[in-house]
Chains A and B, each alone.
Chain A
């Protein structure tokens, strides 16, 4: 099993304080809860295993760290989302372009939805009806 490289681990252990929290909120923002639930649901459906998930998430965190990512772990759910996207692409269940296009459609749909109304994908002005 691949583990964080030793030199980086030494540096982190020596020089970076461990961030602390009380028994605070589970999720800082709703999208984190959505992303979390999506991974649990996909594991429940057998789309990927717990071990595949841990490897994917661990790899994403390690790579971000090696490239100067947040050392306090505050970008954890960003890494979570990247790991999910990459794992689905690896499994042939999504494509990078497909996710890009769909995300852009959601952004347009949100902008086009009046305040107080639910944001629906069909509100995207470019949607094919």
Chain B
């Protein structure tokens, strides 16, 4: 079996390898670092932030507070960016956030038909399907069918309003507080606010409480 061992070892000696795309990213990064536009430690900090600190839990806290505190809900409706900043969320991708409140008459759905604009500070980075061409097309052409794909059926009389995000303006859906959540703490409420419900392709359910 020594032949096999040798071969295995040989493979390991050459496993330092960049795929073309990996080499290209390294190329762009090193060129920008050399020109002084980018600090490598800033890149690490950005990655850490988006991998561990920013995500849909931030948005869930915003929604839970709006459900619990009518004055906060009013501020969120009037100026989403400022109300979100009250909870310490903001920055890149959140320069202008508009909160779209669902009502019995109107359900809100967000999309970016151009690319993938998304309210990063409150929802983190977008899921794969949000960036996919079928979602970006179908959300606009057939919003009710899109919701059905996600297993959501709305009452017939409830309109669907589709919000097309841009680099300047990004939206977060504030779902209606479900019945059966009376007396819950903000933490309990936040636990049932899913990412999908803040994009508008899901609805919160009291059964999801954790």
The interface of chain A, by Cβ under 8 A from chain B, is 1-4, 8-10, 12-13, 16-21, 23-24, 26-27, 31, 33-38, 40-45, 47, 49-51, 53-55, 57-58, 61, 65, 71-74, 76, 78, 81, 84-85, 88, 93-94, 98-99, 102-107, 110-111, 113-115, 117, 119, 121
Contacts and interface: CB of A to CB of B under 8 A. Distances in A.
B207 interface: no
Contacts of B19: 31
B14 interface: yes
A9 B117 CA distance: 18
A10 B137 contact: yes
B35 A93 contact: yes
B115 A57 contact: yes
Interface in B41-63: 42-44, 46-47, 50-51, 55-56
A111 B38 contact: no
Contact of A33 (B51, B132, B166, B195): B51
B153 interface: no
Interface of A is mostly: helix
A33 B17 contact: no
A26 to B, nearest CB: 5
Nearest to B164: A3
23 contacts: A3-B114, A4-B136, A9-B136, A16-B134, A17-B134, A18-B138, A23-B56, A31-B19, A33-B47, A38-B28, A42-B32, A50-B92, A53-B167, A58-B114, A72-B128, A73-B133, A74-B128, A76-B128, A99-B24, A103-B26, A106-B27, A110-B18, A121-B30
Given A13-B141, A76-B116, A99-B28, A18 B16 contact: no
B55 to A, nearest CB: 8
Contacts of A85: 24, 28
B132 A115 contact: no
Contacts of B29: 34, 38
A47 to B, nearest CB: 6
B113 A26 contact: no
Contacts, number: 210
Contacts of B149: 17-18
B133 A12 contact: yes
B18 to A, nearest CB: 4
A111 B14 contact: yes
Nearest to A72: B132
Contact of B24 (A12, A103, A113, A115): A103
Interface in B124-142: 124-125, 127-129, 131-138, 140-142
Among A24, A26, A57, the most chain B Cβ lie within 10 Å of the Cβ of A26
A18 B135 contact: yes
A104 B26 CA distance: 10
Given A34-B43, A36-B50, A21 B128 contact: yes
